[in-house]
Amino acid sequence: MPTSGAGEQTTPIDRTTPKGRVFVMLDTDGDGVASKHDYFVRIERATQATGRKDDDPLVIAARRAGERAWAAMDANGDGVLTYDEYAAWVDAEKFDTICRHALSALFDLADSDQDGCLTRSEFTVLRQALGNPAGHADAAFAALDADGDGRIGRDEYLASIRAYVTGEGSPMGDALY
């Protein structure tokens, strides 16, 4: 297994749990650890997928939120996050104070008309950029769009991700990952 400054990875990644599934998505190169590069490549993919330029204020905000989130996750500053570190770190409080802001900034990148909602196509573009297959994104959108209006608001999107990561259950998360 890959190692980090914190020592060797000791727990196999449990790909059947929400934390394991999210961690696998964060590890964009599949080497068993989520590096700073892995984390930021997702922001770059979202930037490219949404057609935004590097100097776009929303891109700048997403990168800043990403920097804050990465600094909190990589508490020992070694540039990598093992599954053990991630699983021990992520919880409801961390989601509310750290992850929510980073995910909200990514939501803003995809919200092309800045109305606070994502259409199915905007949602799919964002989720594919973050590493989810298009079919999963489509099923996740359907699960989250309970009223069938073809739009998902920021709060319901973030609440569903929070519920999934914290083990409270989320039909969107189950479909997405």
What's the token pair of residue 137? 């994104």
Classify the phi-psi angles of 108: left when phi > 0, otherwise alpha if psi is within -120 to 50, otherwise beta.
alpha
pLDDT 10s digit of each residue in the chain, 177 long? 444 444 455 688 988 888 998 999 899 999 999 999 999 999 999 999 999 999 999 999 999 999 999 999 998 999 999 999 999 999 999 999 999 999 999 999 999 999 999 999 999 999 999 988 888 899 999 999 988 999 999 999 999 999 998 888 888 888 877
Say what the pLDDT of residue 8 is: 53
- Taking every pair of Cα atoms in the chain, the longest distance, rounded to a whole number of angstroms, is 49
Say what the pLDDT of residue 9 is: 55
Beta carbons of 46 and 110 less than 8 angstroms apart: yes
Q: How far apart are CA 82 and CA 153, in angstroms?
A: 32
Which one is the CATH code of 14-176: 1.10.300.10, 3.40.50.620, 3.30.1450.10, 1.10.238.10? 1.10.238.10
Say what the pLDDT of residue 134 is: 85
Say what the pLDDT of residue 131 is: 87
Say what the pLDDT of residue 172 is: 84
Domain ranges of the chain: 14-176
Burial 32-67 (b: 16+ CB within 10 A, else e): bbbbbebbbebbbbbbebbebeeeeebbebbbebbe
